[in-house]
Amino acid sequence: MEKFVIKGGRRLRGTVSVSGAKNSALPILAATLLSEEPSEIKNVPNLRDVNTMVKILRNLGVRVLMGNGIIRVEPRGYSQCEAPYKLVSTMRASICVLGPILAKKGFAKVSHPGGCIIGPRPIDLHIKGIKALGAGVSIEGGYICAKAKRLHGATVYLGGAFGSSVLATANVMMAATLTQGTTIIENAACEPEICDLADFLVKMGAKIKGQGTPVIEIYGVKRLFGAEHTIIPDRIETGTLLVAAVVTNGEVEIKGAKPEHLGAVIDKLREAGAKIIVNGNKIKVTGRKRFKPVNVTTLPYPGFPTDMQAQFMAAMCLTDGISVITEKVYPERFIHISELNRMGAQIMLEGSSAIVRGVPRLSGAPVMASDLRASAALVIAGLVAKGRTEVSRIYHIDRGYEKIEEKLLSLGAEIRRERSNEVHPPQNLGG
Ligand code: EPZ
């Protein structure tokens, strides 16, 4: 296992580029299963989760070539229809092969993703969606078994207790591309990753409109073709680098970003006092020594992203007041609080709101990463804390950030990756 050793107190300065979006690459790689023809996906980040998705494709009998951020998928004649427990249990997002395999093969067997450290993550909307398209679904031996001789178009409302679902929207949209008739998804997720997926599907020959709005219409076609596509930049990585620059009172330019995907995050950082200048695909951010407390509520896009909640909380630890951070997407996503409090933060939990009382400073400490975004928050806290911080179990961060320590080093941070003598605990890693 590995850990990060961080010496805090350096101001981040310089220019850094953003990688392709993990949460776009995963469903887009799954979508290649809808065609017999090869597809080429570019700007794919080199991440643990992407490697897991490639393993799932290969396990289905698909040929996959990868190198230099390009993945070529040759799905011709793949014979398997199963995504096994041993892979799905390491990455929940594996569920997004369900729709494509079902639509292409008429039968799909995908391990039920089970529980997750960030909270209950039911899949009722995924099942509701494919049932509406005519699939018979059963849960057997821990697997979702879905079958349908011929899927048909339908109108399906995909709203859950916490609003829209990104991957349920993706699954139903992908399955609907090869159905007979028209499918209307109501209360669809509007995330940029859904638009990127729809753009790729359209390049494959699908007929889709309304992506990016709560109502998506898909007109089924008989077959889809191979296509080339370049993945959008990762808005969560961009947001994470923005917060890191702000808390270290830094001066950083982020290149290759899509600022329009970060409206809520940029707005809240400005409210806290950061200076942010957007210029095309560049974002220039200037931090400050102390910043104002800001209240945040996470919501589906275009609201404030839940995947930025932990990182923003780390920043709110260093204000001259009290911030309230409310989770409306994953009400229990607060496992990072105890580790931040170990660094001297003062955070209390009230239901699904965290009350963050600003402190003069954080102090470095050994802390443990628990999930992808929580680990990013601990790295940010380590960058600004006094002294040495050791963040263990960084395999979590490797799931979603490409070479994060090299990017931070290039901005002047004092951070290094080291082997730790901890043994790797098996667990469901979420995502
Ligand atoms: C996607 O997960 C992202 N993952 C998550 O990012 C992100 O946190 C999440 O969207 C919300 O923005 C990928 O894109 C790979 P949801 P997804 O279905 O699609 C409830 C990261 O850090 N729900 O939109 O699985 C659910 O419990 C990861 O990169 C149902 O009730 O999330 C949650 O409360 C973590 N029934 C809410 O909807 C369902 O069938 C939103 O979840 C499905 C979801």
- Grouping H, G, I as helix, E, B as strand and the rest as coil, residue 234 is coil
Question: Hey, which of 29, 98, 167 would you mutate to test ligand 1's pocket, going by the most ligand atoms within 8 Å of its Cβ?
Answer: 167
pLDDT for res 425: 57
The answer to whether residue 427 scores a pLDDT higher than 80 is no
- Closest atom of ligand 1 relative to the 124 alpha carbon: 40
pTM over 0.95: yes
Structure tokens at 223: 């077959």
Nearest protein Cα to ligand 1, atom 13: 23
Residue 145 neighbours by CB distance under 10 Å: 18
Q: What is the DSSP string of 49-88?
A: HHHHHHHHHHHTT-EEEEETTEEEEE-TT----EE-HHHH
Closest by Cα among 49, 38, 187, 130 to 110: 130
Mean pLDDT of 194-215: 98
pLDDT for res 289: 82
The answer to whether residue 211 scores a pLDDT higher than 80 is yes
- CA of 168 relative to ligand 1 center, distance in Å: 8
The answer to whether residue 429 scores a pLDDT higher than 60 is no
Question: Hey, which of 193, 328, 329, 398 would you mutate to test ligand 1's pocket, going by the most ligand atoms within 8 Å of its Cβ?
Answer: 329
Tell me how far apart the alpha carbons of residues 175 and 180 are, in angstroms, rounded to a whole number.
11
pLDDT digits (tens, 9 = 90+) for 81-115: 999 999 999 999 999 999 999 999 999 999 999 77
- Grouping H, G, I as helix, E, B as strand and the rest as coil, residue 370 is coil
Mean pLDDT of 396-402: 96
Mutual angle of helices 22-31 and 98-105, in 10-degree steps: 10
Peptide bond into 84 cis (omega under 30): no
Pocket of ligand 1 (CB under 6 A): 23, 26, 92-93, 121-126, 160-162, 165-168, 189, 193, 306-307, 329-330, 372-373, 400, 430-431
pLDDT for res 424: 57
Q: How far is CA 215 from the centre of its chain?
A: 22
SS (HEC) of 142-166? CEEEEECCCCECCEEECCECCECCH
- Closest atom of ligand 1 relative to the 93 alpha carbon: 15
- Closest atom of ligand 1 relative to the 125 alpha carbon: 40
Closest by Cα among 133, 127, 125 to 110: 127
The answer to whether residue 430 scores a pLDDT higher than 70 is no
Beta strands in 86-157 (DSSP E): 107-111, 136-140, 143-147, 155-157
pLDDT for res 423: 66
pLDDT for res 422: 73
- CA of 325 relative to ligand 1 center, distance in Å: 19
- CA of 167 relative to ligand 1 center, distance in Å: 7
Q: How many Cα neighbours within 13 Å face the side chain of 416?
A: 5
Q: Give the residue numbers marked as catalytic.
A: 116
pLDDT for res 149: 87
Eight-class DSSP state of 190: -
Tell me how far apart the alpha carbons of residues 117 and 312 are, in angstroms, rounded to a whole number.
19
- CA of 300 relative to ligand 1 center, distance in Å: 9
Alpha-carbon distance values, 22 to 305, 361, 392 (Å): 15, 33, 22
Backbone φ, ψ for residue 195 (5° rounding):
-65, -40
The answer to whether residue 77 scores a pLDDT higher than 90 is no
pLDDT digits (tens, 9 = 90+) for 274-315: 999 999 999 999 998 888 999 999 999 999 999 999 999 999
pLDDT for res 121: 87
pLDDT digits (tens, 9 = 90+) for 328-370: 999 999 999 999 999 999 999 999 999 999 999 999 999 999 9
Mean pLDDT of 131-144: 97
- CA of 257 relative to ligand 1 center, distance in Å: 23
Q: Are 413 and 6 in contact (CB under 8 A)?
A: yes
Question: Hey, which of 112, 165, 397 would you mutate to test ligand 1's pocket, going by the most ligand atoms within 8 Å of its Cβ?
Answer: 165
Tell me how far apart the alpha carbons of residues 102 and 227 are, in angstroms, rounded to a whole number.
20
Element housing 29 (H / E): helix 22-31
Q: Are 295 and 323 in contact (CB under 8 A)?
A: yes
